[in-house]
Homo-oligomer: A and B are copies of this chain.
Amino acid sequence: MNVRQKISAEDMRERILVVAEEHFRRIGYAKTAVADIAQAMGMSPANVYRFFPSKLAINDALCAKIMRETDALIMSIVERPAPASERLRALIVELHRHNKEKLTNEHRLFDMVEVAMEENWPAIEAHCECVVCQMARLVTEGIASGEFRPVDPADFAETAFNATAKVFHPTMIAQCARFGDDQEDHARRIADLILAALRP
């Protein structure tokens, strides 16, 4: 029964997140109350708090769920059978494209991500760490294969990540998009810059 309960509770959390995501998509992140979510599931608002300690916990959990999808994309790129340099380049360009696409097509949902970044929710920190970590992995592999000069992979990855803020950070993407910049080209060029810094 202990197992049964755990499964059920975890299942309920998941179901709450699904309903929350629907509402965020439709109504917007700021406008949906936990009462809306509860009502849509035929339960009382108070009952939702049996599964999440606060609304922010719901938000963060949903944020984490969304970011995990992005992380999956990253992993799929990193695991491609290709030279490290090519994968690093693809990571930068495709992650930028992915972020920009989500930002424009799922605007409602990505309001939340922007707030999450401004307030540094745990889910965001985890995601950024994932990106840096995978970059470091590519750097390590590139060094091993002789494509890259020897550097400290973790340090270099962190700096490279910082250098891509212009094409990764939602605020920057939104701002540049308003001016009609060709950001995908920027992403490519920044990737080139990073790869140039890794030349042996």
For residue A69, CB closer than 8 A to chain B, the reply is no
**Using a Cβ–Cβ cut-off of 8 Å, how many residues does chain A contribute to the interface with B?**
30
Q: Is the CB of B118 within 8 A of A189?
A: no
CB distance from A4 to the nearest CB of B (A): 41
Expressed in whole angstroms, the minimum distance between the Cβ of A17 and any Cβ of chain B is: 26
Whole-angstrom CA separation of A160 from B166 in the bound complex = 11
Q: Are A165 and B155 in contact (CB under 8 A)?
A: no
Query: Does B162 contact A186, Cβ atoms closer than 8 Å?
Result: yes
Residues of B within 8 A of A190 (CB): 159, 162-163
Contact with B along A142-156 (1 / 0, CB 8 A): 000000000000011
Contact of A159 among B155, B171, B179, B193 (CB under 8 A): B193
Residue A65 is within 8 A (CB to CB) of chain B in the complex: no
CB contact between A186 and one of B159, B189, B199 (< 8 Å): that residue? B159
Q: Taking the nearest CB of chain B, how far is it from the CB of A6, in angstroms? A: 34
Digitize A42-57: 1 where CB-to-B-CB distance is under 8 Å, 0 elsewhere.
Answer: 0000000000000000
Across the interface, which residues of B come within 8 angstroms of A158, CB to CB?
189
Does A159 lie within 8 Å of B118, measured CB to CB?
A: no
Q: Bound state CA distance, A167 and B175, in angstroms?
A: 16
Q: Which are the 9 A-B pairs with shortest beta-carbon distances?
A: A196-B197, A165-B166, A163-B163, A197-B197, A159-B189, A162-B166, A193-B197, A165-B165, A162-B186
Q: Can you list 9 contacts pairing A with B, beta carbon distance less than 8 Å?
A: A158-B189, A159-B189, A162-B166, A163-B163, A163-B193, A166-B166, A171-B171, A171-B175, A197-B197
